[in-house]
A and B are shown apart, each in its own frame.
Chain A
Amino acid sequence: MARFGMAIDTVRCVGCMDCVVACKTENSVPEGFNRDWIATEVTGTFPTLHMEIRSERCNHCDSPPCVHCCPTGASHVHDVGGVVLVDYDKCIGCKACVASCPYGARFINPSGYAEKCTFCIHRVEQGLLPACVSVCPTHCMHFGDLDDPNSEVSQLLASRNHHSLLPEAGTKPRIFYLT
């Protein structure tokens, strides 16, 4: 079974937020909310500075606390690619998952259910890339099967320096940032 993940090239990323906008239109994310976002980390003192720009979202963790804590089984690991999803019909909007996520990736949709990045599984199952990946003008985002050593993401992770977010949280995130 595939294990989907992303490798995002911080060297190319300019933080333009096209990924955020594309997610919003593709998934009709309600006004005032976004499923992905841009984080900018600046270190140093002017003018000797380093800046990392990252497109962030749900990490579709191998050990997802949001799934473990869900009282109704709405948060679950999908058969295809091990993507973490929410069954909106089962969700009661209790916010346990929102609190459990160390990445702040979830929010409660005004209709009352927990919402977050789905890796655009509806597109992936049609052979398309997630909207954020397909739109990125800098081609900094790569999506694929982390278990396939020949996939683009695996090749990039094998050949480039990279890090993930909050590895110490023990969630085994599946989004990696190339540096």
Chain B
Amino acid sequence: MSAYSRRKFLKISAATVTAATAASACTEASATPPAPARRATKGVERVPTYCDVCFWKCGAIASVRDGALWKIEGNPIDPLSRGRLCPRGTGGIGAHSDPDRLKRPLIRRSDRGREEWAEVSWDEAFAYIAKKMHTIKETHGPESVAMFAHGIGGNFLKHTLKAYGTPNFAAPSFAQCRGPRDVGFRMTFGEDVGSPERTDIKNAQCLVLIGSHLGENMHNTQVQEFAEAVGNGATIIVADPRFSVAASKAKHYLPIKPGTDLALVLAWMNVIVTEGLYDKDYVAKYGFGFDQFAASIAANTPEWAYPETGIEPEVIRATAREMARHKPATLVHPGRHSAWYGDDTQRSRAVALLNALLGSWGRKGGFYTPVSMSVPGYPYPAYPTAPAKVDNPGGKYPFAHEAISTGIREATITGQPYPIKGWFVYATNLIHSLPNEAETIKAIQNLDLLVVVDVIPSEIAGWADVVLPESVYLERYDDLNVEWFREPFVALRQPVIDSPDDQKPNWWMAKRLAETLGLAHYYPWKNIEEYLDHRLTAAGLSFDELKKEGIIRGAPQPIFFDDGAPSEFATPSGKIEFFSLQLQKAGFDPVPVYHRPAEPPAGSFRLLAGRAPVHTFSRTQSNRILSDMMDENEVWINADMARRLDVKSGDYVRLKNQDAVVSNRIRVKATERIRPDCVYMVHGFGHTARGLRHALQKGASDAGLITRYATDPLMGGTGMNVNFVTIEPEVTHG
């Protein structure tokens, strides 16, 4: 082992290679190493693959010029990108050349979180991990290892851990993001909104966005369709405390008071029901419990909603009528990041019900029924029987249909219902993605093993015992993308270029770890090409064709009820549940009921966060191409409030939350584009991991200020818009 401090780590290059090579010479890897990409050293080669800068997974074609990565563009035959990537996808090549990347496996050699490492060979890293995993299995059982993952790249590591015997896998994308929305829609229509969302934005004649900032939130196909709808003259209605980009395209901008969205949706439904504007045939044919629903919302008039939301009754009526005029081609967008206030499932359910009144579910211009290609999974041996999952003991959150990441964290802290002693973290920076960093660190201190697989030295990697450096998506194969979408297709990710250092693809790590654990029989394939070929052959598809084209499209199928898509609802009643007996039985409101959120104390602002089109979460700030677009975030403060606080655009300030947590310094954006009672920042900045040299201390982290969260009693989602901050002047020296 070559030991070195963090300071030296900053300068890792050739100096430490010798030691690492010497170490790996002691053992011999049995997993077939990934084949080099082998690109021509002269001329331009174009290699199809699919993107990984976010989870949308757009089909792309990368160009290699004279042996070096040049650019990446949308694959014209890909239904997701439609030949055009988003700015993050276009800038994705910066992930390959990022000088701050993790380069070689690391083992912690000092206290957790001090970011002091020994650089080791892959075999040493796997041997270390396997030894700890054996001990955990013997002492506590295999279920005491849990995994957090984001994205398709986690598939193989999940397979290894299932083979090891744990049932505990979670993604922050459920409880911290889209979970409340998916549960709300599932309880109403029997199905999730899914990802990519099943929204037919391009055919919408009226599009309603509630806090959803499409255009800044850059989910490629949705943004393309949004622009198409705007270009076609669709009526856009936006309710948002901030005058978003989408709001600038709106006919009606409703500057709603934060946290009162449910009141607005209830009032909209009240108008539509009271005035008889709903799709009566649709509701009669597909609806369950409409009369009880109508009675429940009878008091939620626009006049009732006005003092809650700040939206005038006549505006609520006018927009409700406008929605009804365009039905069923009125899409009330379900949003995506919906973990806001702790009552988010009920708010999302109200959005689902408003769509149901408009008859938009299953209809053109509303929600389509997604279809997918049939590609069988690989026929692996059966996994060992595992005990019940740890994250939701006794079904405390009765409607959580996916694992709750914060539930695993809780169990790791309390040891209940059983101890969690090992974490694998794949491609999710838990320090930024989970609320209340202190709880995350407390949980980490209870672990016997924390393994982080990442491409950059993220904050969570800084807390790891073992860091495994992954090849970026442009350097590796991954699992097939068989997405549920408008039409069936399968997409391939394949290596465009070699990894610059000793980074390895996730499939190789997962297979090698399984072999080290004595689970080699769970990997009957030698390398991933064999795995992919097997799956594709079983589906009657050609691996060679997929390598050449990147995408294979299936035959279109009907995706709207009117075209023959099945109008089925997997709810207990088999219908759209305006009134939910299962909610009533579990002791919850069968029809959503509004509860007023706590307001910020005088002098404080509600902290809101969102997305920029050029960054994904906290994982792209060191990509030099994308950081050239946006290098740090700003705190948006209403111009009038900024004048009162005597701060102006460009000034540095710090934010202090209700628990006295103070942020890194952040520049002010004094703007008319936000209400005076809240401030806003883009998520993902304010890095503290020292290895992220370029992104270090640039801007502030919203996550660091989210010490409080409101847990959704239906599904365990963590509402994060419940933190209040004051603006503290930044003391400057010299």
- A contact set with B: CB distance below 8 Å: 9, 11-18, 20-22, 24-26, 28, 31-34, 42, 44-47, 49-51, 53, 134-140
- Most chain A CB atoms below 10 A, which of B248, B613, B626, B674: B248
A42 touches B90 (CB 8 A): no
Residues of A within 8 A of B255 (CB): 46-47
B614 near A21 (CB under 8 angstroms)?
A: yes
Q: Cβ of A12: which chain B residues have Cβ within 8 Å of it?
A: 227, 230-231
Number of A-B residue pairs at CB separation under 8 A: 120
Assess A16 versus B625: contact at CB under 8 Å? Given A25-B91, A137-B223, A138-B223: no
Please name the residue on chain B nearest to A139 by beta carbon.
B227
B73 at the interface (CB under 8 A from A): yes
Which chain B residues lie closer than 8 Å to A140 at the CB level? 227
Q: Tell whether, in the assembled complex, residue A16 and residue B672 are in contact, meaning their CB atoms are under 8 Å apart.
A: no
CB–CB A42/B671 < 8 A: yes
Tell me the nearest residue of chain B to A37, going by C-beta: B629
- Of the candidates A21, A33, A45, the one whose C-beta lies within 8 Å of that of B87 is A21
| Complex partner residue of A138 from B224, B246, B675, CB under 8 angstroms | B224
- Interface residue tally for chain B (C-beta within 8 Å): 46
Query: Given known contacts A11-B231, A14-B245, A17-B630, what 5 new A-B pairs fall within 8 Å (CB)?
Result: A20-B87, A22-B71, A26-B71, A47-B243, A134-B84
Interchain nearest-CB distance for B464 vs A (Å) = 30
11 contacts between A and B (CB under 8 A): A14-B214, A16-B215, A18-B90, A21-B614, A21-B629, A25-B70, A25-B90, A46-B243, A53-B245, A135-B84, A139-B231
In the complex, chain B residues 66-89 whose Cβ is within 8 Å of any chain A Cβ: 70-74, 84-87
Which residues of A have CB within 8 Å of B74? 135
Which listed residue (A15, A135, A139) contacts B215, Cβ 8 A?
Answer: A15
Question: Which residue of the partner chain A has the closest CB to B69?
Answer: A25
Q: Are B626 and A21 in contact (CB under 8 A)?
A: yes
B628 engages A34 (CB within 8 Å): yes
Of the candidates A34, A44, A45, A135, the one whose C-beta lies within 8 Å of that of B73 is A135
Residues in B neighbouring A20, C-beta threshold 8 A: 87, 629
Q: Are A16 and B248 in contact (CB under 8 A)?
A: no
Could you tell me if B71 and A42 are in contact, using CB atoms closer than 8 angstroms? no
Closest Cβ–Cβ distance, residue A136 to chain B (whole Å): 7
Q: Which of A13, A22, A50 contacts B90 (CB 8 A)?
A: A22
Pick the 3 closest A-B CB pairs, nearest first. Answer: A14-B215, A138-B227, A47-B255
Nearest residue, chain B, Cβ from A45: B672
Q: A31 touches which one: B87, B90, B230, B628 (CB < 8 A)? A: B628
The distance in angstroms between the C-alpha atoms of A138 and B673, with both chains bound, is 23
**Residue B220, interface by CB 8 Å:** yes
B667 close to chain A: CB less than 8 A: no
* Measured CA separation A131–B246 after assembly (Å): 25
Which A residues touch B638, using CB under 8 A? 46
Q: How close is B497's CB to chain A, nearest CB, in angstroms?
A: 14
Q: How far is the CB of A60 from chain B (nearest CB, A)?
A: 23
CA–CA, A13 and B216, complex, Å? 11
Q: Is the beta-carbon distance between A24 and B628 smaller than 8 angstroms?
A: yes
- B contact residues vs A (CB 8 Å cutoff): 70-74, 84-87, 90-91, 93, 214-216, 218, 220, 223-224, 226-228, 230-231, 243, 245-246, 248-249, 253, 255, 613-614, 624-626, 628-630, 638-639, 671-675
Which chain B residue has the least Cβ–Cβ distance from A138? B227
Give the Cβ gap from B223 to chain A, nearest Cβ, in Å.
6
Which residues of chain B come closer than 8 Å to A139, judged between CB atoms? 224, 227-228, 231
A16:B628 contact, CB within 8 angstroms: no
How many angstroms between the C-alpha atoms of A26 and B71 in the bound complex? 6
In the complex, the answer to whether A11 meets B71 with C-beta atoms within 8 Å is no
Alpha-carbon separation in the docked complex, A21 to B624 (Å): 11
Question: B248 near A51 (CB under 8 angstroms)?
Answer: yes
Chain A residues lying within 8 Å of B624, measured Cβ to Cβ, are 31
Bound Cα distance from A31 to B625, whole angstroms: 7
**B673: A residues at CB distance < 8 A:** 42, 46, 49, 51
| Partner of A16 from B246, B613, B671 at Cβ < 8 Å | B613
Which interface residue of A14, A34, A136 has the most chain B CB atoms within 10 A?
Answer: A14
Tell me if A137 and B84 are in contact (CB < 8 A). Answer: yes
Min C-beta distance of A22 to chain B, whole Å: 5
Q: How far is the CA of A135 from the CA of B58 in the complex (A)?
A: 13
Q: Contacts A21-B614, A137-B223 given: A53-B90 contact, CB under 8 Å?
A: no
| Complex-state Cα separation, A83 to B224, whole angstroms | 30
Residues of A within 8 A of B249 (CB): 11
Whether A14 contacts B671 in the complex (CB less than 8 A), given A31-B624, A51-B243, comes out as no
CA distance A119 to B537 in the complex (A): 45
CA distance A53 to B613 in the complex (A): 14
Report the minimal beta-carbon distance from B539 to chain A, rounded to whole angstroms: 30
Separation of A135 and B89 alpha carbons in the complex (Å)? 10
Across the interface, do B674 and A46 meet the contact criterion of CB distance under 8 Å? yes
CB neighbours of A14 from chain B (8 A): 214-216, 223, 226-227, 245-246, 613
How far in angstroms is the closest Cβ of chain A from B99? 11
Collect the chain B residues with CB atoms within 8 Å of residue A22's CB.
71, 90
How distant is B306 from chain A, measured CB to nearest CB, in Å? Answer: 15
Q: Is the CB of A17 within 8 A of B629?
A: yes
Q: What's the Cα separation between A103 and B20 when bound, in Å?
A: 53
List the B residue with the shortest CB-CB distance to A26.
B71
**Cα separation A118 to B71 with both chains bound (whole Å):** 18
| Distance, CA A25 to CA B93, complexed state (A) | 8
Contact A25 B72 (CB under 8 A): yes
Residues of chain B within 8 A (CB-CB) of A9 are: 231
Contacts of A45 in B (CB 8 A): 672
Contacts A22-B90, A24-B628, A139-B227 given; indicate if A16 touches B85 (C-beta within 8 A): no
Nearest CB to that of B672 among chain A residues?
Answer: A46
A137 touches B220 (CB 8 A): yes
Check A137–B70 contact: CB distance below 8 A.
no
B248 touches A49 (CB 8 A): yes
The answer to whether residues A16 and B223 also contact, given A25-B93, A47-B243 and a CB cut-off of 8 A, is yes
Q: B628, A32: Cβ atoms under 8 Å?
A: yes
B672 near A44 (CB under 8 angstroms)?
A: yes
**Which residues does chain B contribute within 8 Å of A24, judged by CB atoms?**
91, 625, 628
Which residues on the A side are within 8 Å of B253 (C-beta)? 47, 49
Q: In the complex, are the beta carbons of B245 and A15 less than 8 A apart?
A: yes
From B631, which residue of chain A is reached at the shortest CB distance? A32
Chain B neighbourhood of A44, CB < 8 A:
672
* CB of B316 to closest CB in A, whole Å: 15
Contacts of A34 in B (CB 8 A): 628
- Would B84 and A42 count as touching, CB distance under 8 A? no
**A17 to B614 CA separation, bound complex (whole angstroms):** 7
Chain B residues, CB < 8 A from A136: 84
Q: Nearest Cβ distance between residue A7 and chain B, in whole angstroms?
A: 13
Complex-state Cα separation, A39 to B611, whole angstroms? 19
Across-interface contacts of A21 in B (CB, < 8 A): 87, 90-91, 614, 625-626, 629
Minimal Cβ-Cβ distance residue in B for A23? B90
Cβ 8 A contact of A50, one of B248, B614, B671: B248
